[in-house]
Amino acid sequence: DQQVKQNSPSLSVQEGRISILNCDYTNSMFDYFLWYKKYPAEGPTFLISISSIKDKNEDGRFTVFLNKSAKHLSLHIVPSQPGDSAVYFCAATRPGGATNKLIFGTGTLLAVQP
C-alpha cells in the first residue's frame, strides 16, 4: 500500500519558469510533510517542510502548499535553475509516535533546461 504517491515520474521545465511537483497521501494521520532533493551519488537533502496546521510554507525560491482536505501537497520552485535538476522526494510522518519514521513517495525527476 503506497501511502505517499508521486504520480509524475519526471518533469521538464525551462530555466526561469515555475516548477510544480505534486504529492498525494492516503493516511489522514500524517501531520508533517517534508520535501527532499537527491542528486546522483548523494543522499537525500532536506529542502522544506510543512506542518498540517499550516497550508503554506515558504523558503526563498521554494514554497510548499498543503491541502489537507484533498490530501495533497505541492512544491513550487520559482524561478527554476539548472542546478535544481534532481530527484525530488515527498515524505510524510506522524509525530508523537514512538518512531518518527518517514514514508517516502517514489520521487519525481526534475530537469531544468537552460
Partner 1 sequence: ETGVTQSPTHLIKTRGQQVTLRCSSQSGHNTVSWYQQALGQGPQFIFQYYREEENGRGNFPPRFSGLQFPNYSSELNVNALELDDSALYLCASSLESGFIQYFGAGTRLSVL
Pick from 8, 22, 49, 74: which binds partner 1 (CB under 8 A)? 49
DSSP 18: -
Asked if residue 53 binds partner 1 (CB under 8 A), the reply is: no
Beta strands in the chain (DSSP E): 4-5, 10-14, 19-25, 32-38, 45-51, 56-59, 62-67, 72-77, 86-93, 103-104, 108-113
Would you say 46 or 78 has its CB closer to partner 1?
46
Would you say 66 or 105 has its CB closer to partner 1?
105
Return the number of other C-beta atoms located less than 10 Å from residue 26's C-beta.
12
Give how far the C-alpha of residue 47 lies from the chain's centroid of Cα atoms, to the nearest Å. 8
Asked if residue 69 binds partner 1 (CB under 8 A), the reply is: no
Pick from 43, 60, 83, 114: which binds partner 1 (CB under 8 A)? 43
Provide the binding-site residues for partner 1, judged by CB under 8 A. 4, 6, 32, 34, 36, 41-46, 49, 89, 91, 93, 95, 97-107
